[in-house]
């Protein structure tokens, strides 16, 4: 069941939250040795929460909260008070924070059950899948292929049905890429839509909270629980959150969709191009108005720009800790920090101006279209479990801060999922989710990962 379906079954009393949680726990115990998506589990406490949720659904006059009884996995990058929060690093192997990130607290307040934490590479660095603490996370579609990263465990856990939904983060492509590789729905809201307070930053001008789900409606429910202003996060915007659950219905008219084939399709593999072209044709047949457009001129500079910002800001975040504990950093994150320490201020300032320019140019495209549609990744999940794959198709929208939803649309000949990503106007997540739901109904993707059979 999706989260939405489970809630409906709870309300109809055809399913108990306790029964469902017990099945999910059994599944976690069955698949964790193969997939290795989890760090810590809280099954006993979760069962108590499920009993309380069941009472809310069965008590006369009870008022279940929006996510009452739904299981949500938390990336080990979002701190939870008094629970070990490692950020994937040996440095934090015994760290117990004195606060809970608002991302987590808002989900708990909405009735979600946190039954597990999920793996992440060291400090959410996307260069390698393996965590020095937890080892390698594997893709449920093929255990010899990467699940993507850095939200490796969140993507794999949702795909393997070890939870209903999960949260992660995205600085470059750490939500949309693993969601695509794992054949599930991924969402990166607008920059500033969800508070990042309490998270250890990677690059503050790029960091987003990410959502993993199995439907656009589930992603909407997750966003509705977490969205909102937080003065403790300097990037948080004073923008009223919407009724995303209600918005995740078919739009009143077929959407206007912009394609950027030169920048994206031409850089994708043949199996990805073919699958996305078939998906686009189905959307056109259903009435979508689709047009190819020139990509923003500044798109050519995105990869170099985001790498420079990431290194410079990671150096600032880690500067004092790195000076004291350099030998405890892995080689990839160490390389990033050292590169950032050598970055001249003028280069960083120029990168920020390029970021603003690219955001403005993207806004101009989205003033004429509802969404920009591109492949979510250049190729399906690559073989080999050392790398998290190519984030190049995700970097532009992390840099610009526009909201993105990825949807699986087909299986490649290799049997691995292929996804599209839809980019919408800033802080228009309701419209974006509505369009995502419309596309989802057309694709009707319902394949299951063979390495995690039900």
What are the catalytic residues? Answer: 75, 150, 174
Tell me which residue has tokens 């409606």.
217
Residue 52's CB: how many other CB atoms inside 10 A? Answer: 15
**In whole angstroms, what is the distance from residue 361 CA to residue 191 CA?**
17
> Taking CA 150 as the corner, what is the angle to CA 144 and CA 152, rounded to the nearest 5 degrees?
45
SS3 assignment for 150-170: CCHHHHHHHHCCCCCEEEEEE
**In whole angstroms, what is the distance from residue 32 CA to residue 135 CA?**
12
> Taking CA 405 as the corner, what is the angle to CA 242 and CA 206, rounded to the nearest 5 degrees?
85
Tell me which residue has tokens 């880690």.
318
CB 148 within 8 A of CB 384: no
Q: Strands across the sheet with 208-213, in order?
A: 38-41, 113-118, 71-75, 165-170, 208-213, 185-188, 404-411, 417-424, 371-375, 256-259, 289-292
CB 357 within 8 A of CB 298: yes
Provide the β-strand partners of residue 1: none
Integer-rounded Cα radius of gyration of the chain: 20
CB 402 within 8 A of CB 392: no
Measured between alpha carbons, how far apart are the two ends of the chain, in Å? 11
How would you class 349 by CB atoms within 10 Å of its CB: exposed for 0-12, middle for 13-18, buried for 19 or more? exposed
Residues near 169 by Cβ (< 8 Å), separated by ≥ 6? 75, 77, 78, 124, 150, 151, 175, 196, 199, 202, 207, 208, 209, 210
3-state SS, residue 363 = helix
**In whole angstroms, what is the distance from residue 31 CA to residue 345 CA?**
48
**Which tokens go with 129?**
């899948």
| Torsion angles phi and psi, residue 416, rounded to 5 | -95, 150
Residues near 414 by Cβ (< 8 Å), separated by ≥ 6? 142, 271, 380
**In whole angstroms, what is the distance from residue 212 CA to residue 431 CA?**
18
């Amino acid at each position: 069941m999706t989260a939405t379906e489970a809630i409906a079954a709870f309300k109809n009393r055809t399913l108990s939250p306790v029964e469902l949680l017990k099945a999910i726990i059994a599944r976690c115990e069955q698949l964790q040795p193969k997939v290795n998506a989890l760090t810590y589990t809280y099954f006993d406490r979760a069962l108590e929460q499920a009993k309380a949720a069941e009472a809310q659904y069965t008590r006369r006059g009870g008022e279940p909260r929006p996510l009452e009884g739904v299981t949500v996995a938390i990336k080990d990058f979002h701190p939870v008070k008094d629970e070990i929060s490692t950020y994937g690093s040996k440095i934090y192997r015994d760290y117990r924070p004195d606060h809970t990130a608002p991302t987590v607290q808002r989900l708990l307040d909405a009735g979600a059950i946190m039954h597990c934490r999920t793996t992440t590479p060291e400090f959410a660095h996307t260069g390698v899948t393996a965590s020095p603490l937890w080892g390698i996370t594997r893709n449920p579609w093929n255990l010899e292929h990467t699940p993507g990263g850095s939200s490796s465990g969140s993507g794999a856990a949702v795909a393997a049905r070890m939870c209903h939904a999960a949260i992660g983060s995205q600085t470059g492509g750490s939500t949309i890429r693993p969601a695509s590789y794992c054949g599930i729905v991924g969402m990166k809201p607008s920059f500033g839509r969800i508070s990042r307070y309490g998270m250890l930053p990677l690059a503050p001008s790029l960091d987003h909270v990410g959502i993993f789900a199995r439907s656009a409606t589930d992603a909407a429910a997750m966003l509705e629980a977490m969205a909102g202003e937080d003065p403790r996060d300097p990037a948080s915007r004073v923008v009223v959150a919407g009724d995303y659950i209600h918005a995740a219905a078919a739009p009143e008219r077929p959407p206007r969709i912009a394609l950027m084939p030169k920048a994206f399709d031409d850089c994708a593999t043949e199996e990805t191009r073919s699958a996305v072209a078939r998906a686009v044709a189905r959307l056109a047949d259903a009435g979508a108005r689709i047009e190819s457009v020139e990509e923003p001129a500044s798109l050519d500079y995105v990869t170099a720009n985001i790498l420079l910002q990431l290194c410079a800001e990671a150096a600032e975040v880690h500067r004092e800790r790195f000076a004291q504990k350099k030998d405890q950093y892995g080689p990839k994150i160490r390389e990033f920090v050292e590169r950032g320490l050598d970055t001249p201020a003028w280069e960083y300032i120029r990168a920020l101006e390029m970021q603003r320019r690219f955001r403005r140019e993207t806004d101009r495209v989205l003033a004429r279209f509802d969404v920009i549609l591109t492949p979510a990744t250049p190729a399906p999940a690559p073989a080999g479990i050392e790398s998290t794959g190519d984030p190049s198709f995700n970097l532009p929208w992390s840099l610009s801060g526009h909201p993105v939803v990825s949807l699986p649309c087909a299986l490649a000949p290799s049997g691995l999922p292929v996804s599209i990503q839809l980019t919408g106007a800033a802080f228009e997540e309701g419209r974006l989710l509505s369009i995502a739901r419309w596309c989802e109904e057309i694709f009707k993707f319902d394949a299951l990962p063979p390495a995690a059979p039900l």
